[in-house]
Structure 1
Amino acid sequence: MDLRYPPEAEEFRVEVRRFLSDHLPVGFCFGDLDRHEALAWTDRWRATMAANGMVGVSWPVEYGGRGLPKIAQVVLAEEFAKSGVPWGRNIDATTLKMMGNTLLRWGSEDQKRRFLPGILSGDENWVQGYSEPDAGSDLAGLTLQARRQGDEWVLNGQKIWTSRGQLGDWIFVLARTDPAAPKHRGITFFLVPMRQQGVEVRPIVTSTGEAEFCEVFFTDARTDAGNLLGEINGGWAVANSLLGLERGEEAATNPILFQGEFERLVDLARVNGRDRDAVVRQRLSWCYSKVQIMRFLGYRILTTWLRDGELGPESSIAKLYWSEYHQVATDLALELMGTGGLVREGRRLSRQMRTDEVRAPNSNNSWIDIFLLNARSGTVYAGTSEIQRNILGERVLGLPKGPGDS
């Protein structure tokens, strides 16, 4: 197995590192910024990226990209992860990676010309409208209704757990257009403007104290008849291809981020005088081995993605693996902090927190807010662990469906 990247990818890596060196402030730490500073900084950073050709690097030149091989996108994501630089609210997975690439595959020429420039520039932010109160893991059970009226579609219903919904300019939704059809059929994929009467967004405050997720209500909301991807009643195929885009370069960046978190976990054990404890050392060794397995699993996923252009059901193993690992690792962090780990105070710190900050008494926020509480939801969002196991069992191993599965 040759794990080396091709020469052209390493040449691009040099360019990315030079870009980061030229444009990141000396000693920059994203975790030092408060919420408002972070949002303002990511907007400026997004503009800097676009101005220097660091957005959509693998997209065709005719749509504003650079036409580089897909592995260039992996290199870009890797170097950003190593530098602790966030993608930002307008260049996140939903807007660029998911919506942008879905438009490239399924969009008409008019749709590409209309929407792709705004995605690349960051002028238009997209959010995802999939889950509903009674249609999460069983997404095909959705009930949001869309009815054709002249040159428009009229939508009525609700979506929930819409990430950053309050920041969205557009939302892509799955809506039922044929109630008489079987569940997976009769669903259409729509592009809907959010800044209109008939769309109400209600933020949901989670256990971290943040309002990252939202409820979105549609009451006679409208979108142009041309704002659908794929065929009428054929939205399930579009939705599945979009979900496959969630894995992609994450196979390369997740091991980097989890390795950084592991190093912080070791520092935490040392600072709290537990690094000589045989049981703690054994548990840390377990965490280290899991991160390394994650890295080599990532290589396999990347090989498939770069070769085939998309990922099959096998990629579900990555989501299952990291989400369940993360809960064990953050449980260990809480144990190492002891009773002090139950108190949330001080500023929030980034994943790339420096060693001296581990010793600070106010460093608990980093573990409690970003890791511990969010880790609890990792086995639920983007497909529950139960759903990932069903996918692997039925679509990869060929096992029969379980009782009650349709």
Structure 2
Amino acid sequence: MKLGFSTGDELFRQECADWLNGQMSGEFKDIKGITKLTASPERRKEWEQRLGEARWGCIGWPIEWGGRGATLGQQVIFAEEYARAGVPGRVNHIGVELAGPTILAFGTPEQKQRFLPSIAKGMTIFCQGFSEPNAGSDLAGVRTAARLEGGEWVVNGQKIWTSLAHIADWIFVLSRSEKGSSGPNGLTFLMMELRQPGIEVRGIKQINGDSEFNETFFTDARCPADSLIGAAGDGWRIAMGLLAFERGVSTLGQQMGFRNELDEIIRAAKENGAARSPLIRQRIAKAEIGLRLMRYGALRMLSNADHSKIDGAALTYKIQWASWRRGLGELAMDVLGQAGEVTDTNDYEWAALPNLFLFSRADTIYGGTNQIQRNLIAERGLGMPREPRGDA
């Protein structure tokens, strides 16, 4: 495992930092430091396009598809410098980190030509259609149905927790295409345009006042027959490949965001005197140790040459960071004390640390609950018997 970077990598780091800091102090200084994913959506889309113009949007992709063919180390460096510069989160994270790599790995040449250049240029925003109200984190339990009719797929059902669906252009949908099938069998992975009469997006108000998540309803929604990735009934394999990409290089950028949050907690503790408490200092030290361990663990995970498969290290990462960050949110509120429980705005807007606490309550739920993650670790990582299912 390589824990350091070469001289060439450090020069690349400086190039990244110079460009990003230049943008954040220049034309895009108005979006620097934004933490809410729903804030300034049009400016954020413009930012995606600026990244695409400079070929910084998908640097790990092949050059022919709008990337830079960057090495793994360079991708890690860019993700870290992106967060360090205070650049807001990507509104096309799903397209860049999930849909794009899935199309690269499993798509046809025609599908690559259709989708990849527009994603790389920041012109096409994707969202994810996996979770359902009655299935939760159990992807094998999806019920959204798709049938082939007159050269088109016709889709009926409901998805939930579709992040940024209200600003997205396309959605990939895991659907059940074989009547009477159950579990991972009979699933098909479809790419669908969101702006059509058969799809309705409804926002979900979150406890931090934001509406990042949505419910998405499909009523005879349609897409061409060749919109599926892989083959009909092969959706489970495609979905598992996609989830492997979810544990990719962006995890290191995510950790730099965590670094910024922990530094803000330390600053607040020094300012209001909470740092004088031995217990608070101990908890801050524990958070620091946890963050460093996550970095080394993520580097080890990414050292696996085959990123289309979820290995044992990747299986543990979600529960590790989600539990750590939930604890970080609790630490933030304990440092702030009563001052963190009130806001001076009338529209339920919170400062960074109270917002961290409120949002982190969902970290152990979305992307697979901690309970589901433990099942995955036991069954896939350790080879233990499957948990009994109610329909067995």
Fold match, TM over 0.5? yes
Q: CA deviation at 1:2?
A: 4.2
- Structure 1 runs not aligned, ≥5 long: 349-361
1:382-401 to 2 correspondences below 5 Å? 382-401=367-386
Is residue 18 from structure 1 mapped to residue 18 from structure 2 by the alignment?
Answer: yes
**Distance (Å, rounded) in 2 between the aligned partners of 1:346 and 1:95:** 34
Distance 1:146 1:33, change over 3 A: closer
Distance 1:274 1:129, change over 3 A: same
* Residue aligning to 2:168: 168
* Residue aligning to 1:122: 122
Helix, strand or coil for the counterpart of 1:377? coil
Paired residues in the alignment total 388
Are the counterparts in 2 of residues 177 and 187 from structure 1 also a CA contact under 8 Å? yes
**Distance (Å, rounded) in 2 between the aligned partners of 1:152 and 1:402:** 38
Q: CA deviation at 1:152?
A: 0.5
* Residue aligning to 1:316: 315
Structure 1 stretches of 4+ with a deviation exceeding 4 A read 26-29, 32-37
**Distance (Å, rounded) in 1 between the aligned partners of 2:34 and 2:60:** 32
Distance 1:204 1:376, change over 3 A: same
Distance 1:343 1:180, change over 3 A: same
Helix, strand or coil for the counterpart of 2:351? helix
Distance 1:291 1:105, change over 3 A: same
Helix, strand or coil for the counterpart of 1:265? helix
Structure 2 residue identity aligned to 1:366: A
Helix, strand or coil for the counterpart of 1:331? helix
Are the counterparts in 2 of residues 248 and 311 from structure 1 also a CA contact under 8 Å? no
Bigger drift between 42-51 and 242-251 goes to 42-51
Are the counterparts in 2 of residues 252 and 302 from structure 1 also a CA contact under 8 Å? no
Identity over aligned pairs, percent = 36
Is residue 153 from structure 1 mapped to residue 139 from structure 2 by the alignment?
Answer: no
**Distance (Å, rounded) in 2 between the aligned partners of 1:124 and 1:379:** 29
Q: CA deviation at 1:191?
A: 0.6
**Distance (Å, rounded) in 2 between the aligned partners of 1:303 and 1:274:** 39
The TM-score, its normalising length taken from structure 2, stands at 0.92
* Residue aligning to 1:374: 359
The TM-score, its normalising length taken from structure 1, stands at 0.89
**Distance (Å, rounded) in 2 between the aligned partners of 1:240 and 1:300:** 20
* Residue aligning to 1:329: 328
Q: CA deviation at 1:36?
A: 8.3
Distance 1:289 1:58, change over 3 A: closer
**Distance (Å, rounded) in 2 between the aligned partners of 1:263 and 1:88:** 22
Bigger drift between 79-88 and 216-225 goes to 79-88
* Residue aligning to 2:45: 43
Distance 1:223 1:320, change over 3 A: same
Bigger drift between 20-29 and 271-280 goes to 20-29
Helix, strand or coil for the counterpart of 2:368? coil
* Residue aligning to 1:352: none
1:7-406 to 2 correspondences below 5 Å? 7-25=7-25, 28=29, 30-31=32-33, 38-89=40-91, 92-304=92-304, 307-314=305-312, 315-346=314-345, 365-369=351-355, 371-404=356-389
Are the counterparts in 1 of residues 66 and 121 from structure 2 also a CA contact under 8 Å? no
Distance 1:118 1:318, change over 3 A: same
Helix, strand or coil for the counterpart of 2:246? coil
**Distance (Å, rounded) in 1 between the aligned partners of 2:310 and 2:97:** 17
Are the counterparts in 1 of residues 208 and 349 from structure 2 also a CA contact under 8 Å? no
Distance 1:281 1:218, change over 3 A: same
Helix, strand or coil for the counterpart of 2:380? helix
Are the counterparts in 2 of residues 176 and 187 from structure 1 also a CA contact under 8 Å? yes
**Distance (Å, rounded) in 2 between the aligned partners of 1:183 and 1:246:** 22
Aligned CA-pair RMSD: 2.4
- Structure 2 runs not aligned, ≥5 long: none
